[in-house]
Chains A and B, each alone.
Chain A
Amino acid sequence: MDATERSMLEAAAHDAFAAAGDRPLDDALATLGWPEMLVAEPRDSIDVVFTALGRANGAATALDDVVAAGLGLRPRPALAVLLPGFSHWRPPGRLEGGRVRAEGLATARVTTAGELLVVCGPGDGSGAAHMVAVPVAAAAAEPRRGIDPGAGLHAVRVDHPAEPSGTVPWDAAVALARRALGHQIAGAARAMLDLARAHALDRVQFGRPIARFQAVRHRLAEALVWVEALEASLVAAADAPGPETAALAKAVAGRAAAAVAAHCQQVLAGIGFTTDHPFHRHLRRALVLDGLFGSADAIALDLGRRLVARRRVPTLVEL
């Protein structure tokens, strides 16, 4: 995708999401050419679509497509994917005695799709991840409102007869999902910063806009530092794709979201504490997205264990 095509897609995503209002954005995404564009142009389409989703605070099930594509499958609306449980990134299923047993999360697609894809990790002794598709009717899916009802997540259990199929590249799917989530968080972080910045310029106290107070300015500056660091980490993950750079981008995303949310919430103060103001939606979404495919804390700990075990601290990206 060249720069012009990319900015056209950005504008189209923005318009389509704005027109959809509070409705789920899956139809809007379909009109943009998703998920075909995911297959054709994974890098730019993930970046643009998930950034726009984050900014719009939109609910969509596009993450299922990203995981499917990461597994090497053709994404399609009738295919839902079982996501790992909150804070985890291990394959959510196990294959034992001719049955698949799984516990995890799913997007709202689990209520509309025909099939649910369950990736099963070690447990059969092979160490490799296998894939099983079960009819969604065989899965017990319960909506989880939680802190962010708009996210449309479901808690899902599966216990169904199944045989192991071929192995699938779970690590690659995790990496792609983490990049998508990283972009969505970056979009949400930009949105929070935009809201706080506009408020700082608008809100007058002590006879002047609060943007004139250094304590306020420095919080917003710090928020921008985190947003920019996150966006750069996502560039690194796309330029040097792999499990580590994707893990790091997701960890930076979690850290950035927490810092940006804290600074912006403080600047928005009372108005940002109400549900009349849109800030709270982004705060909620960021908390949920941090837990999908590993929180910043869990990923940092895991990376740290690897560094210590190997006694190596690799730089990963070069000029």
Chain B
Amino acid sequence: MRSGHDIGRSPTVAEFRDRLHEWLDAHAAELAPRHPLPGTLDEQVAQMQRVKAITYEAGWMRHGWPERVGGYGGSPVLRTELGAALAARDLVDPGLFSLVEVLAPTLIDFARPELAAQVVPRLLSGAEMWCQGFSEPGTGSDLASLRCRAVPADGDAASTTAWVVNGQKVWTSLAQYSDRCVLLARTGDAGSRHRGITAFFVDMDSPGITVAPIEMINGVREFCEVFFDDVVVPADRVLGEVDGGWAVAMSILPYERSSCFWQRIAFLYRRLEQLVGLVAGTEDERIAGVVGDAYVQLHALRARSRVTQHRLASGETLGAETSIDKVLVAAAEQAVYDAVRRLAPATVALDDSPEGERWRGEYLYSRAATIYGGTAEIQRNIIARRLLGLGADD
């Protein structure tokens, strides 16, 4: 059995996928969750870190990442294939796993090379978890209005050796498990909007950080309030330029909207298949129509995401057109779970078995697909302005 180390440094995508699936088959027992699904969030996080450790050790988790951060290089599509395979086999929760794609590229592109080389392998190998501190109580869609503040500890912005952070973040996913946070803070004056924001890479064990998990609508405490009271962050932890945090925040989108989506799509196909298994024997003449509709929606999304991945792989820079992918992924996810609720309403509403808990939890979570990562309305604003050229709105 060949591992991820032995397939060479630039396998084709198909080669990589075939070998990977062979390897996953052979290591199925070792990789399988140690708990019945869905499991608690603690169990899910532990499982993900274990799977990351095993697949990093076997080389798979290193393909598609640059060599300067411990990767084997090659097309980012390779890591997309890995995430999709893990999600489609129920080995990791795609939402949790996607944070790697959201956060590692930021460090690679914007951290000092030594810092990136030091920390990115720790994220990939499951030694660490990171979180993204963007949203605030007064700042959701209008990210440029954020108020969490960072000021130079000594001297001015150019000469200071450290920054002092004060303020609050909210809805920070997995902050309670995280070793680091990619934080956006205001370094310009109050009215400076996107010109006065800086990105920091903050150690979550820094004195002055308090994390308070919040219960979500599905009963899980996945996101948190994070409070910063005089938190000292060394100046070499600035990502990108001082006052250049907007570019850092925007750079996340291409990966979030390609690799992460492909993983979620793989997961949605699996869940639709499991729904079919759940309801196939029942006397309900709507089944074929409802399943067929969800399948059409899912296929449209997969086809679109595939085009986007190919553009990324051929070196194109992804931009506003990924808002189309974002609208489609949210619509397809909600279509799949609408199908679940329509065809298995009692499972969603009343089934207290682990299986029922899982369908219910995922159904509720799917409602956030039009909220996180930029709401559906914000995506349509972007499409109207940037893709349709309709000019500014009122």
Contacts and interface: CB of A to CB of B under 8 A. Distances in A.
Interface of A: 197, 200-201, 208-209, 211-214, 217-218, 220-222, 224-225, 228-230, 232-233, 235-236, 248, 251-252, 255, 296-297, 299-305, 307-308, 311-319
A232 B303 contact: yes
B122 interface: no
Given A304-B292, A308-B288, A315-B266, A233 B300 contact: yes
Contacts of A302: 292
B380 A217 contact: yes
B393 A255 contact: no
Contacts of A214: 381, 393-394
Given A232-B304, A312-B273, A319 B384 contact: no
Interface residues of B, number: 53
A212 B390 CA distance: 7
6 contacts: A217-B381, A218-B377, A248-B299, A300-B295, A304-B290, A313-B270
Interface stretch (B90-98, B151-159, B208-216, B305-313): B305-313
Contacts of A299: 292, 296
Contacts of A233: 299-300, 303-304
Nearest to B293: A300
B14 interface: yes
Contacts of A313: 269-270, 272-273, 276, 295
A314 B302 CA distance: 12
A220 B289 contact: no
Contact of B296 (A235, A236, A303, A318): A303
Contact of B309 (A212, A218, A248, A319): A319
Contacts of B379: 221
B301 A304 contact: no
B296 A255 contact: yes
A225 B300 CA distance: 10
Nearest to B88: A315
Contact of B301 (A211, A217, A229): A229
Contacts of A300: 289, 292-293, 295-296
Nearest to B313: A319
Contacts of B291: 304, 307-308
B277 interface: yes
Contact of A228 (B324, B384, B394): B324
A232 B307 contact: yes
Nearest to B275: A313
Contacts of B299: 233, 236, 248, 252, 316
Contacts, number: 160
Given A221-B388, A248-B296, A315-B269, A212 B393 contact: yes
B304 A228 contact: yes
Interface residues of B, dominant DSSP:
helix
Given A300-B296, A307-B291, A235 B269 contact: no
B292 A301 contact: yes
Interface of B: 13-14, 17, 77, 80-81, 262, 266, 269-270, 272-273, 276-277, 280, 287-293, 295-296, 299-304, 306-307, 309-310, 313, 321, 324, 327-328, 377, 379-381, 383-385, 387-388, 390-394
Interface centre among A208, A224, A311 (most CB of B within 10 A): A224
Contact of A230 (B17, B300, B310, B387): B300
A269 B324 CA distance: 25
B315 to A, nearest CB: 15
Given A236-B299, A319-B77, 19 more contacts: A197-B388, A200-B390, A212-B390, A212-B392, A212-B393, A212-B394, A217-B393, A218-B381, A230-B300, A233-B299, A248-B295, A251-B296, A307-B288, A307-B295, A308-B280, A308-B291, A312-B273, A317-B303, A318-B306
A319 B82 CA distance: 12
A9 B12 CA distance: 33
B287 A319 contact: no
A235 B393 CA distance: 33
Contacts of A255: 296, 300
A151 B301 CA distance: 31
A300 B289 CA distance: 6
Nearest to B265: A315
B324 A220 contact: no
B98 to A, nearest CB: 17
Contacts of A212: 390-394
B328 A225 contact: yes
A251 B299 CA distance: 10
